[in-house]
Amino acid sequence: MDNKNKVEALFQTMVEKATLKQHVYNNTLDAFNLIKTSILDLEKKYTAYLLKKGVPEEIPFEANSMSDFEIELRFGGDVLLFMMHTNIFEFSRHHEVMHTDYIYEDKTRSYCGVINIYNFLSDSFKYNRVNDIGYLIGRVFVNKDNHYFVDGKRELGYIFNNFGTNKVDTSSVINLLEAAIAYTVNFDLLTPDYELVKEVSVYEMKNTRDIISLKTGKRLGFKFQADNLNDKE
């Protein structure tokens, strides 16, 4: 191949890869906007539920769209933060998805946009407890076919793991949101091991006494990564 053909082949590869990634990005943004719309719809349904059932208004269920790529949902004592990454990723060759017929048939299906789902305590933001811990409870991967796969805790990673057939639509997004909320509601704050909190410095106590600064997280001092489908928590 002469130099001219090499350069043209290089340009073609570049254009094909960029076009693929742009397509995946657009699908991921559409999926994220659908998540936003569905969250706002759930907020309206909760307001109607309050009126119907007479639930105290101080029990919140509030959405806040923070940017084109972030939306938070506050409910009870929790916050779910949905964040779309603006870059496109490929699964590691060791990931289980890479060993499916769906990917074997077309390698470009493994390029995905990512929407991360984090769980924080509402009080962490309310009282500016900047040392508190949040947890990544799920990652939604969206590809060029508008198929999705969820890498996550419990039912999030158990129900939504058929990459070859799961397609992003209103029904699938609602199911995902319901699973994320259900997991969060049942993911309780545990008392940390006494040995982990028995000491506190004078600096910590003097400078952050007014915001209850001792680091707080639902599984602080425990191995959250070890959670599995058989856990009691």
Mean pLDDT, the chain, rounded, equals 85
Report pLDDT for 205: 63
Report pLDDT for 59: 84
Average pLDDT over residues 70-97: 94
Structure tokens at 92: 């590691």
Query: Where does the chain have alpha helices with state H?
Result: 3-53, 101-105, 122-126, 155-159, 170-186, 194-197, 202-208
Structure tokens at 61: 């269920």
Report pLDDT for 52: 85
| Overall pTM > 0.75 | yes
- What Rg do the C-alpha atoms of the chain give, in angstroms? 21
157 in Cβ contact with 138 (< 8 Å)? yes
The model's confidence at residue 86, banded by pLDDT at 50, 70 and 90, is very high
Average pLDDT over residues 88-110: 94
Neighbours of 11 (CB within 10 A): 10
Average pLDDT over residues 140-164: 87
Please tell me which residue, 151 or 15, carries the higher pLDDT value.
15
Q: What count of residues does the chain have?
A: 233
23 to 3, 16, 17, 79, 91: CA distances (angstroms): 30, 11, 10, 31, 17
Neighbour-count burial of 173, counting CB atoms closer than 10 A to its CB (0-12 exposed, 13-18 middle, 19+ buried): buried
Report pLDDT for 218: 57
The model's confidence at residue 88, banded by pLDDT at 50, 70 and 90, is very high
Neighbours of 69 (CB within 10 A): 15
Please tell me which residue, 79 or 5, carries the higher pLDDT value.
79
At 189, is the secondary structure helix, strand, or coil? coil
Report pLDDT for 227: 41
Q: Find the range with the poorest average confidence among 65-74, 109-118, 187-196.
A: 187-196
In 76-100, which positions are buried (b, 16+ CB within 10 angstroms) versus exposed (e)?
ebbbbbbbbbeebeebeeeeebeeb
Query: Which residues are registered as beta bridge partners of 143?
Result: none
At 150, is the secondary structure helix, strand, or coil? strand
- pLDDT single digits (tens) 11-56: 999 999 999 999 999 999 999 999 999 999 999 999 899 888 877 7
The model's confidence at residue 209, banded by pLDDT at 50, 70 and 90, is low
Contacts of 95 (CB under 8 A, 6+ apart): none
